[in-house]
Chain A
Amino acid sequence: MPALLLAACGSGPQPKSESDVSLPAAHVDAATAGAITGRVLFKGDAPAMPVIDMSSNPQCERQHRTPQKAETVVVNPNGTLKNVFVWIKSGLAPARWPPPATAAKLDQHGCIYEPHVQGIMEGQDLDIVNSDPVNHNVHAECEKNAPWNESQPPRAEHKFKKFVSEEVLFPVTCSVHPWMRAYIGVSPHPFFAVTGDDGTFDLKGVPPGTYTVEAVHEKYGRKEGKLTVAPSGTATIEFVYGS
């Protein structure tokens, strides 16, 4: 019975099947590759974000000159929305896209995750760093990938993690500092971006074709649109969120 209990506990998501590995290697003809650009607009009054109370750990508080606000909703001065993950959800021919050799980075700095939202490819390394003088735990709350929770003391070695299945988006949290929350989108291909201070995104080197592009925001959820990328052309799309 205890063995059954433990087996049931451990039955989390499994790595991808062999068939995924057997897909043909992706190839993009540079001569015909196009791009998808756009921006994410925010209509209505921007919600006021609460100030994070870091008093439970003064060492976190001391690292900031000014009070830090939550990054749940960040509306840029030009009326666009920051921290939206945009990616090609469907339309690409089945292929195996090699992950980049460089690792994506997730830093714990000032008891805040940097960046707040990021994309990573299946199989790409995620380099997790603790730049703080305090203990953190890093909890990847994935559902399609195997979730994990590990401690990372100050000055500890970097942690390198991989995610093997497509999953957009899942939170990464720290229970030592419950305000700490980042989001990661795991994509099987390299055509994804996260909106920044100007609310725009730019997906380059996209093969010609018709695609469904999806925008995902941690609070306002998912929106999608269809577009066609002509050979060497640029397709544009706008997403509009509102309060």
Chain B
Amino acid sequence: MEASRYNAGLHRWSILLAFCTLLLVVAGGLVTSRDAGLSVPDWPLSYGKLMPPMEGGILYEHGHRMVATTVGLFTIVSLIWLFRVEKRRWMRWLGVIALLAVIGQGVLGGLTVLYLLPWWISSAHACLAQLFFSTTVAMAIFTSDWWLKGAMPVDEDPRYPIRGLSLAAPLCVLGQLALGAAARHKAIGTIYHICGSPVVTGVVLWVALRILVHYARNRELRLAATTLVAITFSQVFLGIAAYMSRIAYADAVQPMPIMVTFTVLHVAVGALTMACSVALAILVRRNLTAPAVEYSTTRVAAVS
């Protein structure tokens, strides 16, 4: 297959899509934290209109729908762009998957409103949001100039295997995000999410430290592992802050700003943790080959 050439416009558009998706995650977090999920009872219209009065909780719920619509349109543009300029077939498929995910996400969002926020639809909506964000980040990586220039992969040290282990981090983060979503939608106690925290942090540290100790010569891996550790520690701090603020305002009659702020930041940094762990797993596979695989073959595979 012919190798794709760098397209600056597509890459910038992919970055914009990922950034808007992060804003969408923030907007969704605000809806839940502000208890505004049912402030607009109908869907797909809002109070029977395209643009209802943006007052009280409607501002958050309808604002979330507007950002979601924008992200959906951006994803369609991405897909069209990919089909026009992208030579890598799997990359075009990734665009299709992204579009299906954002459509599914919209349907889940509508269903959870119409069925009065059943925990399993709301939690699925929250988890798919994280997966979609990671997909957009991956698209931004795959369309970048440095990705297309190819890597100089080296053999994985068999004494310190990391290619398989690196997949454990995003899987554990996703599990922890699912527990957080279930707790947020009152299906389970927060204690399960709290108990999951040291497990996920431990796995992330295990992966990151193995890279930093044994594969630090590789700049891409070093940067990704350092970033993941920094984001994860921020996330733990934000989780503690969000929990403490909820305890402090347990008797509040309405969502308090400090609680909303910490909780939404916790949700957003959770999305960044997920995306960063996915990016690290991708970069590990790009830069480290299984010892038995021929160097030249792997390089071609990474570029094509």
Contact = CB atoms under 8 A, between A and B. Distances in A.
A160 to B, nearest CB: 17
B254 A9 contact: no
Given A9-B118, A135-B52, A175 B254 contact: no
B47 A153 contact: yes
Contacts of A33: none
Given A57-B56, A135-B53, A176 B39 contact: yes
Contacts of B71: none
A176 B57 contact: yes
B interface SS class = loop
A135 B116 contact: no
Contacts, number: 75
A174 B38 CA distance: 8
A176 B53 CA distance: 11
Contacts of A150: 41
Given A139-B38, A151-B47, A175-B37, A134 B253 contact: no
B42 A151 contact: yes
A105 to B, nearest CB: 21
Contacts of B115: 9-10
A72 B55 contact: no
Interface string A134-152: 1101010000000111110
Contact of A137 (B38, B118, B251, B252): B38
Interface residues of A, number: 29
Nearest to B249: A50
B112 to A, nearest CB: 9
B253 A176 contact: no
A134 B56 contact: yes
A177 B253 CA distance: 11
B79 interface: no
B40 interface: yes
B252 A50 contact: yes
A215 to B, nearest CB: 21
Contacts of B41: 137, 139, 149-151
B34 interface: yes
A178 interface: yes
A61 to B, nearest CB: 11
A181 B253 contact: yes
B181 interface: no
B269 to A, nearest CB: 24
Interface string B247-269: 00001111100000000000000
A174 B55 CA distance: 13
Contact of B251 (A72, A176, A181): A72
A178 B55 CA distance: 12
Nearest to A177: B56
A141 to B, nearest CB: 8
B35 interface: yes
Contact of B111 (A9, A135, A148): A9
B254 A137 contact: no
A150 B48 CA distance: 12
Interface string A34-60: 000000000000010010110011011
Interface string B28-63: 000000111111111000010000110111110100
A213 B121 CA distance: 39
Nearest to B47: A151
B253 A149 contact: no
A175 B53 contact: no
Contacts of B118: 9
Interface of A: 9-10, 47, 50, 52-53, 56-57, 59-60, 70, 72, 134-135, 137, 139, 147-151, 153, 174-179, 181
Interface of B: 34-42, 47, 52-53, 55-59, 61, 111, 114-116, 118, 121, 251-255
20 contacts: A9-B114, A53-B254, A57-B55, A57-B56, A59-B55, A70-B253, A72-B253, A135-B52, A135-B55, A135-B58, A139-B38, A150-B41, A153-B47, A176-B57, A176-B58, A177-B56, A178-B57, A178-B254, A179-B253, A179-B254
Given A139-B116, A176-B39, 4 more contacts: A137-B38, A150-B41, A176-B58, A178-B36
